[in-house]
Structure 1
């Protein structure tokens, strides 16, 4: 598969996240795709991402991810991003605060035949909690 095809698949993944059109995950995520940094209880494959981002967009209806830097080879796409949103619904038991969040993160996705088969990632989860006013530590 070509590097460009993998980049396009990753961009479609981002489109799903940013628009809430989660059916797109079925086009770009393999059924048994492994997430090496899953959310608690996250399922494999497109359904896992559909469930996770439904939760995120319920808590942050204007949730957006903006890619800041992207590199790719024949099998992998890696990128740094900024995620933003306004807390307007329940997030991990935290009722809506109306506060805005802005966090950074990184992701590496491995592709086969134009579909994500494995993912590694890290987001500033502690930063979300602090920006929502949750006492941590």
Structure 2
């Protein structure tokens, strides 16, 4: 594996730990390309602001002990695919669902394109809709 591919994997791992898990806004700004596009986000929230909002205004208040567990990373060229889980104890409201006090797990697979050492594009799928549906039924 070439050095750029390994460096790209480290950038994505750093993002997952420092930004998603720790909520570090300085790292977020350092790691985001000015032209970043999140292809998985709803129209109107596909830029960097929509991504940090999801982590720090939706997930973190619901799960203050939020943790990211990375199971696997596969990289080729400027793309890094990561299989991970975002988990935590739901002590706050998650969207419209009141706190349950239970641990929840959101499985995620995402693909990130790195450009100039920064997040340039993102595509992803996750089980948040299934988790929300399960929580509504409890």
TM-score (norm 1): 0.87
> Mapping of 1:103-118 within 5 angstroms?
103-118=106-121
Task: Tell me the distance in 1 between the aligned counterparts of 2:99 and 2:44.
Answer: 22
1:52-71 equivalences in 2 (<5 Å)? 52-54=54-56, 55-71=58-74
Of the structure 1 ranges 1-10 and 96-105, higher mean CA displacement relative to structure 2 is found in 1-10
CA distance in 2, matches of 1:119, 1:70: 15
Q: How many residue pairs are counted as aligned between the two chains?
A: 134
Q: Secondary structure at the match of 2:91?
A: coil
| Partner residue, 2:22 | 19
Does residue 77 of the first structure (1) align with residue 80 of the second (2)? Answer: yes
Gaps of 5+ in 1: none
C-alpha RMSD of the superposition: 2.1
Question: Given the superposition, is the C-alpha separation of residues 49 and 37 from structure 1 closer, same or farther in structure 2, using an over 3 Å criterion?
Answer: same
| Unaligned segments of structure 2, at least 5 residues | none
Confirm or deny that 1:92 pairs with 2:95. Answer: yes
| Moved segments of 4+, more than 3 Å | none
1:117-128 maps to which residues of 2 (within 5 A)? 117-128=120-131
Q: Distance between the aligned counterparts of 1:70 and 1:77, measured in 2? A: 7
1:4 aligns with 6
Give the alignment's TM-score, normalised by structure 2.
0.86
- Give the Å deviation of 1:131: 4.2
